[in-house]
């Protein structure tokens, strides 16, 4: 191959390049030109991205795969069932709710990419119930910058609601981990003042917020703090350390798979402290299901495997089939649910979806993003619903449910150990709730007005 043969191609491509450059510059000159002054469109009343006359597009990110998937992956199936129910009954002001769920595998970088997809490509109206502290944290600023309503994050981290000025579009939903820690701490300091307390914490804000709350009441009783990394399923060394430090009561802020793992490891270590799992990690049906497979009587199967364990409760669950809310959820699930039984995770999804529909109605017929945000801030504090304690929503706080009660599991059922206790973050006192929120019953139609 000599140079001569190559030359024509080189010249041609160079000419083409120069031509292209010149052409684009000319085009640009004609087409766009300089910026015009004062050409801004008049400000609209509000953003209606994702809303049409007959539909509302809502997005969510959940771990449908990976270590956090057991249990949590059921939440969106519950929400979907409730939305199907609402859609079948005429929707919200005639609009059908179009609910898009994306899997992020509980990996913050995947949350970023699926959120980009939901916001930029699918152009959702709002994000609902995005799950997880590390995951949702990766996208919360994006959502606020894009001014997408980010309602009812499925995580109890403080950051969703404690600074509405910095995150005007984000709202929490479940009680935050700090007040859960406070309620747990006070309960133990009052009822088990001699317990030597160990903490088993997920190594992120989930564990840190919980620890902060617990330490307000229990600082002197804590003898050991162990942290696990989500994804590393070998928790033997951590549990062995709790045992070695002499903890006879372990408070765990963990996810359900790790509850199962701690139970397994304790068995092999012959370690039997009083366990106090945070609400997040304590579902007896799920943990029992994970454990039930280990046969030969090694671990008792079914939901009774967590007997005697303490935990907290802020919405009625499957263990209270006579509760009017649970009866509604059962009806919704029977009519619209996918495979499987009604579970506490599905109830969680339905309860959240119920609050969302409530907020949509409160925002009125001319739905805008701003209208939805204002409606939650102005009326959210008075929303009736399955939540045992009222929401704390206001212009100054976007924190969710204000309290919970301590329960002890027995045969898969929670037996109440306290009244409904309400408080707030920081050094707010813990008081008994007198709002009567827990006595709400759902409307006849099952749809909020």
Partner 1 sequence: MQQLVNTALGGITLGMVFAAFALALVMIWRSTRIVNFAQAAMAMVTTMLALSLIERGWSYWAAFLAALATGFVLGAVIERTLVRRVEGGPELNAVILTLGLFIVLTAGAEIVFGSDYRSFPVPFSLSGTEIGGTTYALTGFDIFTVVAVLVTMGLLLALFQFTDIGLRMRAAAHQQEVARLLGVKVGRMLTLGWALAAVVGSLSGLLIGGGSLVHPHYMESVVVFGFVAAVLGGLDSPAGAVVGGLLLGVTLSFVSGYVGSGLVALAALVVLVVVLMVRPGGLFSATTARRV
Partner 2 sequence: MAGVPQRLRTTWREVPLARHLVLAAIGLVLVAFTLPAVGDFRATQLTELAYIALAAAGLTVLTGLNGQLSLGHGALMAVGAYTTALLLDERDAGPPLVLVVLAAVAATLAVGVVVGVAAARLHGPYLAGATLAMAVAVPGIAVHFRDQLGGEQGLRTYTPEIPGWAADAAYYLTGSDPSRSTYVAFLAWATLLLGLVLLANLARSRTGRRWAAVRDDEVAAELAGIHLGRARVSAFAVSAAAAGAAGAMLAIADRNVAPGAFNLNLSMTLVAVVVLGGLGSLTGAIIGAAVLTLLVSFGPGLGRSLGLDDLASEQVAPLVAGLVTVAVILLAPRGLAGIAQGRLAARRARRAYTSAPSSDGGSPPSSSTPAGSGSAGTSTAVSTPTGKGTP
Report the interface residues with partner 1, using CB under 8 A.
65-67, 69-70, 203, 227-229, 232-238, 240-241, 243-244, 257, 260-261, 264-265, 267-271, 290-296, 298-299
Q: Which does 74 bind (CB under 5 to 8 A by kind): partner 2, partner 1, none?
A: none
Are 241 and 195 contacting, i.e. CB atoms less than 8 angstroms apart?
Answer: no
Q: Is there binding between residue 147 and partner 2 (CB under 8 A)?
A: no
- Residue 347: its H or E element: helix 344-363
Q: Which is nearer to partner 2, 21 or 298 (CB)?
A: 21
Helix (H) or strand (E) holding 151: strand 150-151
Show Cβ contacts of residue 136 under 8 Å, excluding neighbours closer than 6 positions: 61, 111, 130, 153, 154, 155, 157, 160
Token digits for 269? Answer: 């270590």
* Binding window for partner 2 (CB under 8 A); candidates: 26-34, 268-276, 284-292, 352-360: 26-34
Between 267 and 320, name the residue whose CB sits nearer to partner 1. 267
Residue closer to partner 2 by CB (options 33, 270) is 33
Give the interface segment with partner 2, choosing from 8-16, 184-192, 214-222, 412-420 (CB under 8 A).
8-16
The tokens describing 65, both together, are 């795969």
Give the H/E segment covering residue 150. Answer: strand 150-151
Residue 110 interacting with partner 2 (CB under 8 A): yes
Binding-site partner at residue 138 among partner 1, partner 2, none, CB < 5 to 8 Å by type: partner 2
> At its nearest, how many Å lie between partner 1 and the CB of residue 416?
31
CB of 158 to partner 1, least distance (A): 23
Rounded CA-CA distance 295/411 in Å is 19
From partner 2, partner 1, none, which one binds at residue 269 (CB under 5 to 8 Å depending on kind)?
partner 1
At 259 the three-state DSSP class reads helix
User: What's the CA gap between 310 and 324, in Å, rounded?
Assistant: 25
95 contributes a contact to partner 2 by CB under 8 A:
no
Classify residue 306 by burial, with Cβ atoms within 10 Å: 0-12, 13-18, 19+: buried
User: Which CB sits closer to partner 1, 225 or 320?
Assistant: 225
Q: How far apart are CA 313 and CA 17, in angstroms?
A: 68
Question: Which of 5, 220, 293, 295 is the binder for partner 2 (CB under 8 A)?
Answer: 5
Q: How far is the CB of 229 from partner 2 (least distance, A)?
A: 5
Q: By C-beta, is 10 or 428 nearer to partner 2? A: 10
47 contacts partner 2 (rule: CB under 8 A) = no
Of 231 and 246, which CB lies nearer to partner 2 in the complex structure?
A: 231
> Which string of b and e fits 322-356 if b means at least 16 CB within 10 Å?
ebebbbbbbebbeebbeeeebbbbbbbbbbbbbbb
DSSP string, 377-404: HHHGGG--SS-SS-B--SSS----B-EE
Handedness of CA 97, 98, 103, 109 (dihedral sign): negative
Minimum distance from CB of 240 to partner 1 (Å)? 4
Q: How far apart are CA 381 and CA 361, in angstroms?
A: 15
Task: Give the x-and-dash track for 216-255 against partner 2 (CB under 8 A).
Answer: -------------xx-------------------------
- Answer for which of 56, 58, 60, 64 binds partner 2 (CB under 8 A) is 64
Give strand ranges (E) for 192-340: 197-202, 222-228, 249-253, 274-277, 310-313
Tell me if 39 contacts partner 2 by CB under 8 A.
Answer: no
35: contact with partner 2 by CB under 8 A: yes
Query: Alpha-carbon Rg of the chain, whole angstroms?
Result: 26
Residue span 185-214 as binding mask against partner 2, x where in contact by CB under 8 A, dash where not? -----------------xxxx---------
What DSSP state is assigned to residue 221? Answer: G
Q: How far apart are CA 198 and CA 241, in angstroms?
A: 10
Under the rule (CB under 8 A), what is the footprint of partner 2?
Answer: 1-3, 5-14, 17, 20-21, 24, 28, 31-35, 64-65, 103, 107-110, 112-113, 116-117, 120-121, 133-135, 137-139, 141-142, 145, 202-205, 229-230
């Amino acid at each position: 191959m000599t140079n001569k043969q190559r030359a024509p191609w080189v010249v041609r491509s160079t000419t083409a390049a120069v031509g292209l450059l010149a052409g684009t510059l000319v085009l640009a000159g004609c087409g766009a030109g300089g910026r015009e002054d004062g050409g801004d469109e008049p400000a609209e009343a509000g953003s209606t991205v994702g809303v049409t006359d007959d539909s509302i597009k809502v997005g969510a990110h959940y771990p449908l795969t990976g270590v956090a998937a057991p249990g949590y992956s059921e939440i969106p199936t519950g929400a979907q069932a409730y939305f199907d129910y609402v859609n079948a009954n005429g929707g919200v002001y005639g609009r059908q709710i179009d609910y898009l769920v994306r899997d992020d595998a509980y990996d913050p970088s995947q949350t970023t990419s699926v959120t980009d997809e939901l916001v930029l490509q699918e152009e959702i109206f709002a994000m609902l119930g995005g799950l997880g502290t590390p995951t949702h944290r990766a996208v919360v600023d994006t959502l606020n910058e894009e001014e997408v309503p980010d309602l009812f994050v499925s995580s109890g981290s403080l950051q969703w609601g404690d600074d509405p000025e910095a995150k005007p579009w984000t709202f929490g939903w479940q009680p935050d981990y700090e007040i859960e820690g406070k309620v747990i701490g006070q309960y133990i300091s009052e009822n088990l003042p001699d317990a030597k307390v160990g903490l088993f914490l997920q190594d992120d804000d989930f564990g840190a917020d919980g620890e902060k709350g617990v330490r307000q009441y229990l600082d002197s009783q804590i003898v050991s703090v162990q942290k696990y990394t989500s994804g590393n399923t070998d928790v033997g060394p951590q549990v062995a350390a709790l045992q070695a430090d002499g903890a006879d009561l372990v408070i765990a802020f963990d996810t359900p798979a790790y509850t199962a793992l701690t139970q397994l490891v304790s068995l092999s270590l012959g370690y039997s402290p009083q366990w106090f799992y945070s609400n997040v990690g304590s579902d007896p049906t799920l943990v029992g299901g994970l454990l039930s497979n280990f046969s030969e009587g090694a671990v008792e199967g079914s939901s009774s495997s967590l007997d005697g364990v303490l935990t907290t409760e802020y919405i009625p669950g499957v263990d209270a089939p006579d509760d009017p809310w649970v009866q509604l959820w059962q009806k919704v699930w029977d009519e619209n649910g996918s495979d499987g039984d009604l579970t506490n995770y599905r109830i969680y999804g339905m309860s959240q979806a119920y609050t969302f529909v409530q907020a949509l109605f409160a925002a009125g017929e001319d739905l805008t993003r701003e209208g939805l945000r204002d409606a939650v801030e102005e009326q959210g504090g008075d929303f009736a619903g399955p939540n045992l304690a009222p929401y704390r929503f206001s212009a100054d706080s976007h924190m969710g449910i204000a309290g919970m009660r301590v329960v002890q599991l027995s045969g898969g059922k929670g037996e109440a150990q306290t009244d409904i206790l309400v408080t707030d973050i920081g050094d707010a006192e813990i008081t008994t709730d007198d709002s009567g929120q827990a006595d709400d019953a759902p409307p006849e139609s099952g749809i909020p007005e």
